[in-house]
Structure 1
Amino acid sequence: MIHQLNIDRDDDSSEEEPADPPLKQDGSIRIRNQQISVQDPTGGGEYAIIYPMSPVKLYVNDEEVLWESPVKATDRVTWKVEEQPLFEITISEDKLFAYLLVHARERYATTLVDAGPAQRVIVRAQDDENLVLKTVQLADVVSKLEAMSIKARIEFAAIQQELLEPTYKPIVVASGKEPVEGQDARLEIYFPQQVTSEFFEVEGSIDYRNHLRIPTVQKGEVMARKIPMQEGTAGYDVLGNLSLPTPPKDIFIMGKPNVELTPDGVVIAKAQGRPRVTGGKIKTFDVSTAYVISGNVDIATGNIVFSGDVLVYGDVTDNMIIESLGNVYVYGNVYNSTITATGSINVRGNAIASKLYSGYFGVLFNRLYHTSKLLCDYIEKLLSASRMLEQALEAKRQSVRYGQIVQLLLETKMKEIVPAIKELHVVISNIQHIKQAEYERLKELSLIFSQPTQLIESATYEYVQSFLALLQDTHKEVARMQEENVEISISQSQNSQLKSNGDIVVHRDGVLLCELFSARNIVFHSSHSICRGSRLEAGDSIQAKIIGGQTGANSILKAKRKIQVTKMYSGRVCIGKYCKDIFEPIDQTTFDIQMLKRNE
């Protein structure tokens, strides 16, 4: 066995030694003569890595290589150089300018840069400046402009200069023309539109002889001048498209009998009085005379309805009404009464349990406005119903007078018309002096509706239409009397409602248990003015002094932009939809929307 083992050992020793393993070698890439060759790795080495550098675009097996990528000898590696434009033309956003940006004057032949062999190779290209393929010419730029439909004011000299001595920055090579905007018509008004505050005594003395500063004009004086609108001129963009200016807005002006309008837009007073301008889209000029009550407005004077200013040197007593198509000035107090004015309201004394409406609200709560509007709606329905009933009777071959049809409708379906007409009679009868004759025709036409016999005999469809037309004219006329720069000015007020489409100004003691609404600002002038148990709402801002007290009902102050208080004991303040309740006294505080947002 031992011998056998030795034999076996001798046999084993006669076998060949194993071969050495191959050496480890990474793959490699070589670039030469515009060719890219790849060598695979050996002995477990890593594949070669290739990646391009702009403007070279590299593809491996037809797929673009954007970053480092391993390659094999069997891969198909191709390349090309992406040609960058020698220049570009851009158009501004408003299309008024076209810009030329030269990137290079010439394009050269491009060759690959030799590299490798290496395991990582960047494929780069270089220009052969000895071989020029293309030079930018003026014709090239012009052709591009034409292809882009740019045709307005082409600057050929600027293009040529940039091609000869490039700045390589955008230059304007074509420009359009902006439209020239026209100017809206406007009014130059040569008189103040508000009474100055000398009417009130505010922590000082007052000149009792000259304390009411009402704007006045003399006969022949120029009140205003219309500056006519100016049309703009059209422009065009670089593409040749026409650009039209915004059409200017015109102003339409009218004059009442006390005013002369010249062909060139000059407004001249034909009488002495307070100059007025009213209306929105159509501005109406007038010179208003004043209706003066030397004492109180009471049962003896009756309610006051007047087309101009009303001056009351005494008080307005219980349950009286003043309706003015102008301003109202009260030297005394107002007790449990209603004052409406299409202009401003000035009360030097106290307003107690009263309603004061100025400007838009003066129109809205004006009885002539309200009643004529109500009757317009009623009479339109009456005309429609009467026509339908008349046609139904004609279809049945029944002949009935139109007046009988109207009387039947007034007694059955439209009983509210006669009481409304009676209210209109009362209002017209109370109109003082000037407007009496102007509304006489309206009063005459309406009288027939309260006289059944005459109505049946003489009423026609055309007659009722004429009555409706007069009502519509009356309604529109009162609406046009609204003045823009209005205010309610009072010394103090208790348990009252004040509404103004302008400002509300409290000059002395303040307000108690009141409701104040202003489309603009609510201002307390005196440092001692108090606001208690009241609700104030302003379309812009509120400037208050002392809000609330140690006891009593809280006040609510609401404004769109800002609220300023000198001292506030308690209550609520709101700016827009953001509100804050005040439980502890605060001093010298301004509330705005940012502040209330922070305190949410």
Structure 2
Amino acid sequence: MLKYMASGEGINSIKVVISRDKLTAWISASDEEAKYEKETLINELKKAGVVFGVLSDEIDNFIAVPSKEQVVVARGVPPTPGVDETVELFFASEMTHDNVDEMDTVDFRETSKIVSMDEGTLLARKLPGTLGSDGLGVTGEILPPPKPRSAQLTAGKGAELSENGVEVYSTISGRPWVKVAGTGRTVGCDSVHVQSGDVDIKTGNLRFKGDIKITGNIQEAMEVQAAGNIEVMGFVTRATVICGGKMVIRGNVIGSKLRAGIIFPGAKKISFVLSDIYAELVNLAKAIEQLKKMQNVDVGKLDFGRLLLGLMDSRFKNLRPLLKNINNLVDNQSEDIPEEISEAVESLKCLSGLSCATVENFSKAIRAVYGALEFLSEGREQMSSSIFVRAAMTSAIQSAGNVNVTGQGCLNTTINAGGNVTIKGSFKGGEILCEGNAEIQELGSELGIPPVVRVGERSYIKVEKALPGSVVQVGKSRITITREMGSFKAKQNKDGQMELF
């Protein structure tokens, strides 16, 4: 406290006290029986330096009842503090179910607290502070506000700081994190999420935009998805595992669905046909524009549907067979067709009749086919996607690239691969469809449904041992093994016939 003692001339003494922050002033009397004039007290306050915020009513009360206890007789205006710099995070630490209605059904498998971001995502931003406003003390002095505290924002591993130094973006897909040190924040992104132990009802389904490594098993009815790679040290039992890169299952796979990459069997053929269709559609659109420019043809007065179908019957005769071909390819797919492909094929139905052949539908079809080709182009970049499993039973395995079974083999399992299929053990029951080569140590069994192995016309099938009933197909040529056979290789010759040698 700053203290000031004032002595009256011929009157009892009073004491004036000013607070250290100069926002409050008090007076007290040594003699509670003394009589004071208001002007005298105000003068004593001025002598002590109190010139602002004097409380007239409080002085009147003090005059009426002098007190040895300190009485507040002046108050200043405190400075308004500013706002400190802060760092805003654009990711949460966990998921909550606070807003779930009592009547809603909650899937307790969807309780994973993993937060993941795409590459290039804004992770954090530094928000500027603001200056406060001055105050005024009882002494008339200007009281400056405290300076706002500054915050330090830095980028850690997997992230980068913007040029202006106020934003942090992820440079990889993965799990964002923040380290706090005082007012400093370091924000980064990890590409690998390690799940210690099993994936089960306690952990919830896992979805991550980087890589996932699971040290335990994936239990029944659970789902694991990763934009990158997945490695499972244990078993996968009646579960779904999906990744965009490489999948490695160290244990056995039972009654499960595995998928690596977005390419699906038949994608190459569909891509070729859609490319031809797109080229025809673009040329068809150009032909219509040329007709519009001809002075002797008023396209606006013509029925667009009749014009479109007429051009298809005269100048673009290849389009109808291509449309029939793409429909057959999609209809014959046993696996789910990606939505982008389905939408493109559906949009092409506008070319099948007058009622739906409108300018809007025609333009929509061109855009949809282009979008499907873009999707397939992105998928071709994922041809490195592959699956490695020790053994599989009653499962479905789908890979954009290769499939490798490194242990006992497969039982009643379906394998679809955009690349090669290699089975070091036996393949008993089920079906293999691949666009690359298939190499199998032992094909078929004496019990159960005979297996089927199908490859493209330019690929081959290599088997070390085949049991009767097994079916091998290269391109459109198919044979059924009628007796036990040793090592052979099946391949098409120049005439399109399959040869075993």
Structure-2-length-normalised TM-score: 0.39
Q: Report which of the two structures shows the higher radius of gyration computed on alpha carbons.
A: 1
